[in-house]
Amino acid sequence: MSTQNVATTIEPAKSPRNVSIDIVRLIAAFGVITIHVPFSTPAAGSINEFFSPLCVPFFFLVSLTYFISGLNGTDAVNEVFGKFWKRIILPFWGWTLIYTSLLLAKDYFIGGVSHHSLVFWRILFYGESAVQLYYLPQLVVLQLFAFSLYVIWKGDKGKKILGLGLLLLGAFYIAFGHAYNVFGVLPVTSILIYLIAATAIHYLNLLKLTLSYRCMIIGFFLLILILGANFLKAQYPFLRPFAKLPIGGIGLLLLIIGLPKFKVPQWVLILCSTSYGIYLSHVVFLEFFETAIRKIHHGEINYDLFNKLALVTLIFICSIILTLVLRKVSFLRKVLLGEGK
């Protein structure tokens, strides 16, 4: 069983993994579930306010940084696009098929979701079959931009033309998504911040640091800044644009980079490697448990702090188990997790 969370990254072959990053990815997967579970009280809502500016920006930045590091002097288009397909696009369409089928089944048996309201180009290319799937096509675009800029900078004349074409393709995808108000399409400012931050982290060799108080201090400061803005944006609306920037992902990654490195048992590595599967599968369990609880209680659910955390934990555990089970079946491991040859 592989302990490498390979699904969204292209990593340097000889660079040792930072275990702290893998552990925080697992915690971030828990945080994503927390964001997607509703809340009924201010206390329960405060957990959402804590996790929302951190988790997905962290996923984006880590994956993009590893991708840029993994280019490592290569501009082999077939290799890069092969990894796009295997690690991101194939799992994206695999889960898109699952979630679209669930939406249609839910409409047929329960009602409330009309198949006429499903816009299939949004589902197939932007991930609108489930609330979390937008991440994958947006990650492809981020990595496409990074690769395009890389070959424009380093490649020969033919590669430069290819890079420019890919850059325009990515720009068209983003512009088209914004023109039609598609959910989850990244703002241009966020794209620029991700690209600049990931490139700087790579070229400054920050991932190879064993201990850096400077990184920890800067990271901690950025976290306080973004969390403060996120909690205060309701009182001070002028903070809302700042709160939407991916500063939390940068702060969290810098804080982790600065921490001392350590080793963990093999079972912890295996557990941490399920974060991608948790992210992709958790909405299946969220829909199932919410539907079941509503049937049992004949109405709406009271998502106070205890109930919310209990449901989040249950979904988290079920998603881990499902990910480990999927790994046992070669076809499912490849199609739904992006793992394996």
Residue-level pLDDT at 304 = 94
Structurally, how many domains does the chain consist of?
1
Taking the CA of residue 191 as centre, how many other CA atoms within 13 Å lie in the half-sphere pointing to its CB? 20
Within a domain: residue 101?
A: yes
Within a domain: residue 4?
A: no
What does the pLDDT look like over 81-118, one tens digit per residue?
998 999 999 999 999 999 999 988 877 777 665 555 78
Contacts of 198 (CB under 8 A, 6+ apart): 61, 64, 65, 67, 68, 146
Within a domain: residue 9?
A: no
Token couple for 116? 């006429």
Within a domain: residue 13?
A: no
Task: Categorise residue 73: left if φ over 0, alpha if ψ from -120 to 50, beta otherwise.
Answer: left
Q: Kindly give the residue spans of alpha helices, DSSP state H, lying in the chain.
A: 19-36, 42-51, 55-71, 77-84, 90-109, 120-126, 135-154, 157-179, 188-203, 213-232, 240-243, 247-258, 266-272, 275-297, 305-326, 330-337
Provide the domain limits for residue 203.
19-337
Within a domain: residue 10?
A: no
The one-letter amino acid at 340:
G
pTM (predicted TM-score) = 0.92
For the segment 186-192, the average pLDDT, to the nearest whole number, is 97
For residue 79, pLDDT over 90 is answered with: no
Token couple for 248? 């939390």
Residue 208: how many other CB atoms lie within 10 Å: 12
